Structure 1
Amino acid sequence: MRILPFLPLAMESNWANYKHLQTLSQMLLWTAVLALALVAGTHADLPKAVVKLEPPWIQVLKEDNVTLKCEGAHDLGNYSYSTQWFHNGSRISGQDQSSYRFKVTMNDSGEYQCQMDQTSLSGPVYLGVTSDWLLLQTSQLVFQEGETFTLKCHSWKSQALNKITFFQNGNPMRFSNNNSWLISKANHTHSGDYYCKAFLGKNLHTSKSVTLTVRANPIDDEEAAKTEAENTITYSLLKHPEAVDEDTEPDYQNHL
């Protein structure tokens, strides 16, 4: 019975320990939250990486060679930072260089992003891969008034083309043996559907149509954001190339 006077003391001691541990846990929790906030803030302050295509075409033919380049802020100097590459949100294993060159297959269509040690994740750049004899290539789908851009009539495996004709809205606009068409100081009249025709050997081929838009200069940030969003839109010809007509191209499947 003499033990009874010590029970309150033991209970008070346990309660004091509990309160001490509770306070310590709260301090550790707030410290962790603060650390995460600092890390997030630091990451947000990093310059955003940029993916560039070389050559700059957003549409390519199967077996073309493509180079993707990850660029950061100009003040990064010449130091070679480790780079992470992503295809449709999944990391590309074995690729840690800022320049990534490969021969494309049909499975390579999709969005590409990159991130360097000293940058945040880049925005997505879409690359469309199709299988055909002829392809009209462009660097983007939406342009601003006053911009200069190039259209290219590209053949599978870069075979020689002859008697190349560029069409806009079904009308022949340019005829030459040069497979590129430079459009300077674009305006609203340059909006429309474009395709090209050319002879590959003795056979005449026609590319699929690509819709281009030339917009008035944006008057505010919201309009600029809308234009940027439109540049990311891809057309069905990029994601779902139609089968080649076997009656008119009997040897195509054998070549591919």
Structure 2
Amino acid sequence: MGESRVPQPVTTFSSVLLWAGLLCLASAVRSNGPPSALLTLEPPWINLLQGDNVTLKCEGLQTPGHESIEWFHNGSAMSFHQDSYTIPAVNLKDSGEYQCRTEQTSLSNPVQVQVTSGWLLLQVASLEFMEGDSTILRCHSWKNKPIHKVTYYHNDKALKYSYECFDYIIPQMNYTHSGSYYCVGHIGNNIHTSKIVMITVQGGKWSIIRGFTIVLAQVVVIAVIAAAAALYYYKRHRKTVSIPDEIKKKEVENPVSYSLLKHIDA
């Protein structure tokens, strides 16, 4: 009788599980680095007309009495180290990306400031919002000249009309608020129209559908990998176990057949 082979360990299935675990662990690891600084605007509008005033403020952990805050404009360091930076009359060259950091914080998230020229501008605090956020839209005139008969538009549909310019408030945003916005108003006897501003609201209906689709795709991929690994494991295990059983069966049958033949001859 031949010796039965001991099944060898199958590492493919366990390797798949190991890699899956490592990927999950890597995605769960959080950075232990310093917190990010917070950069804010006062007033909060990210789009400005030439001649407007704006103050950038950097908030974060800082040693009292030290003025070691670093400011960056379009990636270049600025020669200014206080916690607030005021531009009394912005110009086109002041457009771009701003960041800051303190002694004990990392770089803040970038804040985009856009300076344009014109008579009328629809000002916003951000171009991207999460569902449930609130915001204010402001129809702003050059050098704060008096404007009247103001109408706000969303996707070319009128939202609000007022004889004097009042801000348009959205108390709770959802995916239907995404789209194009602009305002039309009178300065003196002339009608002016602002440039279009595109706003995106995330976390709404379509974001949920996209998120569900991504999760479903990940589940399908994991299921396919697991099924392939299980099938490979089954085939490998069957080879190492079933073949010795067949050999053993033949070894048992051969002596029986020989004994029967011998008995008939006698």
User: Could you tell me the TM-score, scaled by structure 1's length?
Assistant: 0.64
What is the alpha-carbon distance in structure 1 between the residues aligned to residue 77 and residue 57 of structure 2?
16
> Which consecutive residues of structure 1, in runs of 5 or more, have no partner in the other structure?
1-43, 224-256
Equivalent positions of 1:164-175 (< 5 A) are 164-175=150-161
1:116 alignment partner in structure 2: 102
What is the alpha-carbon distance in structure 2 between the residues aligned to residue 96 and residue 121 of structure 1?
14
Tell me how large the CA RMSD over aligned residues is. Answer: 2.2
Q: Secondary structure at the match of 1:45?
A: coil
Higher helix share: 2
1:201 alignment partner in structure 2: 188
1:135 alignment partner in structure 2: 121
Q: Secondary structure at the match of 1:119?
A: coil
Deviations 1:48-81 (A, max 9, x none): 11111111111101111010000114xx586554
1:97 alignment partner in structure 2: 82
Among all aligned residue pairs of Structure 1 and Structure 2, give the percentage whose two residues are the same amino acid: 49
Moved over 3 A (4+): 76-81
Paired amino acid for 2:133: E
Q: Does 1:65 find its partner at 2:53? A: yes
Contact in 2 for aligned 1:81/1:117 (Cα 8 Å) = no
Equivalent positions of 1:148-163 (< 5 A) are 148-163=134-149
Contact in 1 for aligned 2:180/2:197 (Cα 8 Å) = yes
Contact in 2 for aligned 1:169/1:193 (Cα 8 Å) = yes
What is the alpha-carbon distance in structure 2 between the residues aligned to residue 192 and residue 215 of structure 1?
12
Q: Secondary structure at the match of 2:182?
A: strand
Q: CA deviation at 1:83?
A: 1.1
* Change in 2 beyond 3 A, CA 1:77/1:185: farther
Q: Does 1:145 find its partner at 2:139? A: no
Max Rg structure: 2
1:252 alignment partner in structure 2: none
User: Could you tell me the TM-score, scaled by structure 2's length?
Assistant: 0.62
2:36 alignment partner in structure 1: 48
Q: Report the more deviating stretch, 53-62 or 170-179.
A: 170-179
What is the total number of aligned residue pairs between the two structures? Answer: 176
* Change in 2 beyond 3 A, CA 1:183/1:78: farther
What is the alpha-carbon distance in structure 2 between the residues aligned to residue 166 and residue 155 of structure 1?
14
Paired amino acid for 1:200: I
* Change in 2 beyond 3 A, CA 1:150/1:78: farther
What is the alpha-carbon distance in structure 2 between the residues aligned to residue 77 and residue 149 of structure 1?
34
Contact in 1 for aligned 2:38/2:109 (Cα 8 Å) = yes
1:40 alignment partner in structure 2: none
Contact in 2 for aligned 1:114/1:122 (Cα 8 Å) = yes
2:197 alignment partner in structure 1: 210
Q: Secondary structure at the match of 2:136?
A: strand
Contact in 1 for aligned 2:63/2:103 (Cα 8 Å) = no
Q: Secondary structure at the match of 2:158?
A: strand
1:107 alignment partner in structure 2: 93
